[in-house]
Amino acid sequence: MFRLNPYRIGWRTIKTAVGMALGVIITKLLGLDNYASSAILVVLCIKDTKMHSVHAIFSRFVSCLIAIGFGATIFPLLGQHAWVLGLIVLLFIPLTVTINTQEGVVTSIVILLHFFNADVIDVSLMLNEVMLLVVGLSIAFIMNTIMPSFEKALTDYQNNIETQIRHIFETYSTMCIKNIQQADLSFNQLLLSIQQAKSIAFRDVKNHFVRNENSYYHYFDMRQDQVEILQRIHHSLQLITVDDPLLPKLATLFKEMADNVNENNYTAMRLHLLYEIRLQIDDLPLPQTHDELYTRSSIIQILYDTEEYLHIKSKFGSLKLYHQVT
């Protein structure tokens, strides 16, 4: 069944439209032949990120220069015939694949067709095609330097993820205080948020020519590792079936961690509290029943997992802002 897809005009559409218009206007003012072809260059070089754009521009520039060389030498020798055009393409495409510039094949074919349809193949035609390349690719490069900032989106994801983790620790604290085995917790939305945030952070990396890493990406990667530990802790909490003297202290630890989830928090105080709980284990009487033994062993496992959670954060340090990593 036919249906219309929702669509909104984004940055890439606007840049493509403006770039095409500028390409045609400038090449026409310069008096170049086939000036409309500059618009094709602009369309094919507008990408989602700056790094992808640079790679596309480089590939098209190199492949088009090769196409100009093929067209300027082979057509005058063999004639401007359809089979000659096919022969050039037969030789040209494998060459671009070999030197990893196959992304520019489409624009190069356009250049070859200019030579194929030209009345005279001379130096002026070659210069005309080079100028089309320079103008079209330059406009595409300028358009691609205009990229929306991802900082607000990344900050929003960061706050959202920290809110969800805070809720998890508060729930853990409640489970310890009230000795509840089951809690309404789901990690799917949290993991989805982290994956979406990492995707945006990766795109942000590709929008910088100088640096090739992003503190936000490492931050979300760190949170993903921590969520895996939180899932293990949740499983261990579900195995606690009887009351234990360590549960109130564990509840206090989780409450402390809930209040200090944000990225600039130091973990030393939480580790100190955790080690105090572990030292108290030796002073407690041994479990007398099977359920008490399972509960105590689950608490010990929770303490080890919580320590690992805190160590992951301590290795990460603080989340740096953009101006600190550029």
Q: What is the pLDDT of residues 190-212, one digit of tens each?
A: 999 999 988 888 776 655 544 44
Same domain, 102 and 230: no
317: left (phi over 0), alpha (psi -120 to 50) or beta: left
Q: Are residues 33 and 48 in the same domain?
A: yes
Q: Are residues 128 and 178 in the same domain?
A: no
278/197 same-domain check: yes
Coil, strand or helix at 275: helix
For range 54-75, the mean pLDDT:
86
pLDDT at 133 over 50: yes
Mean pLDDT value across residues 163-172: 92
Q: How many domains does the chain have?
A: 2
Domain final residue, candidates 144, 165, 194:
144
Residue with tokens 């196959």: 102
Single out the residue in 116, 144, 172 at which a domain terminates: 144
CB burial readout 229-256, b (16+ within 10 A) else e: bbbbbbebbeebeeebebbebbbebbbe
pLDDT computed for residue 13 by the predictor:
78
HEC profile for 102-169? Answer: HHHHHHHHHHHHHHHHCCCCCHHHHHHHHHHHHHHHHHHHHHHCCCCCCHHHHHHHHHHHHHHHHHHH
pTM, whole model, 2 decimals?
A: 0.63
Q: Which two tokens stand for residue 261?
A: 């989830």
Q: Please state, in angstroms and as integers, the Cα–Cα distance from residue 46 to each residue in 137, 144, 150, 318, following that order.
A: 10, 6, 18, 35
pLDDT band at 321 (very low <50, low <70, confident <90, very high): very low
Residues 125 and 178 in one domain: no
Residue 114 belongs to some domain of the structure:
yes
Is residue 276 assigned to a domain? Answer: yes
* 310 domain residue, yes or no: yes
Considering the domain architecture, whether residues 161 and 113 belong to the same structural domain is answered as no
**How many helical (H) and strand (E) elements, i.e. helices and strands, does the chain have?**
13, 0
pLDDT at residue 228 in the model: 94
216 vs 11, higher pLDDT: 216
Are residues 157 and 49 both part of a single domain?
A: no
pLDDT value at residue 211: 47
Give yes or no: residues 120 and 204 share one domain. no
* Percent of the chain with pLDDT strictly greater than 70: 86
**pLDDT of 322 above 80:** no
Same domain, residue pair 136 and 190: no
The CA distances from residue 318 to 198, 264, 294, 314, in Å, are 17, 5, 37, 9
Dihedral over Cα of 23, 26, 31, 32: its sign? negative
Is 269:256 a contact under the CB 8 Å cutoff?
A: yes
In a domain, 249, yes or no: yes
**Domain check: are 176 and 305 in the same one?**
yes
Residue 65 lies in a domain: yes
Q: Which CATH number fits the domain that encloses residue 312?
A: 1.20.120.940
* 158 plus 26 within the same structural domain: no
**pLDDT tens column, 225-284:** 999 999 999 999 888 888 888 889 999 999 988 888 875 556 778 888 888 888 888 888
CA angle 11, 17, 23 (to 5 degrees): 125
Is the residue at 4 inside a domain? no
Nearest to 291 by CA among 179, 178, 170, 168: 179
Rounded mean pLDDT, 76-99: 90
259 inside domain: yes
Rounded-to-integer distance, Cα 265 and Cα 177, Å: 25
The pLDDT of residue 44 is 77
Measured CA to CA, the distance from residue 81 to residue 116 in angstroms comes to 8
Other Cβ atoms within 10 Å of 142 Cβ, number = 14
Distance CA 275, CA 284 (A): 15
Q: Are residues 221 and 300 in the same domain?
A: yes
Residue 262, domain member (yes or no): yes
Domain extent at residue 231: 151-325
Residue that is last in its domain, among 122, 144, 166: 144
Q: Residue 212's pLDDT is what?
A: 44
Distance between CA 57 and CA 63 in Å, rounded?
10
